């Protein structure tokens, strides 16, 4: 088997949907018995000041709680926000309540919530 370069791997990841990429990360973690934790270096700082971290939230989740009457419009907005395929976006909308975006900045979460509400969905930002 030929060894893939970083560029080749990144090109393959670009073509994957978020769900496929999430499944890949889970499989990678299981195969190599590791955890994909980006905040490892920041852990000591977070442990030193837990009160500050709790007071100021900088990552938000956008959760679709219901599709409303205009389900097709909501599916279109979900596809725009997540770059999911049609089937994945439909499954997400059908399976509400489900998170659409996770750990995003406050302004991105608010924009996504407004877009979804504009399409007729009920949304919750946590």
Tokens 């949304």 belong to: 123
pLDDT at 36: 67
Cβ–Cβ < 8 Å for 60, 112: no
pLDDT (0 to 100) of residue 111? 86
Q: What is the pLDDT of residue 120?
A: 84
Query: Which pLDDT value is given to residue 5?
Result: 86
Alpha-carbon separation of residue 47 from 53, 66, 80, 103 (angstroms)? 9, 37, 37, 19
Contact 86, 79 (CB under 8 A): yes
> pLDDT 10s per residue in the chain (126 long)?
678 888 888 888 888 888 888 888 888 888 888 876 654 444 555 455 555 545 567 788 888 888 888 888 888 888 888 888 888 888 888 887 888 888 888 888 888 888 888 888 888 888
């Amino acid at each position: 088997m030929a060894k893939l370069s970083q560029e080749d791997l990144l090109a393959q990841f670009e073509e994957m949907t978020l769900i496929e990429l999430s499944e890949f990360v889970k499989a990678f973690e299981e195969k190599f018995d590791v955890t994909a934790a980006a905040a490892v270096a920041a852990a000591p700082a977070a442990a030193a000041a837990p009160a500050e971290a709790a007071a100021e939230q900088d990552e938000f989740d956008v959760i679709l709680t219901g599709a409303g009457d205009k389900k097709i419009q909501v599916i279109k907005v979900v596809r725009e926000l997540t770059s999911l395929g049609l089937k994945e976006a439909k499954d997400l909308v059908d399976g509400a309540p489900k998170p659409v975006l996770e750990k995003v900045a406050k302004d991105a979460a608010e924009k996504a919530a407004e877009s979804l509400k504009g399409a007729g969905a009920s949304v919750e930002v946590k």
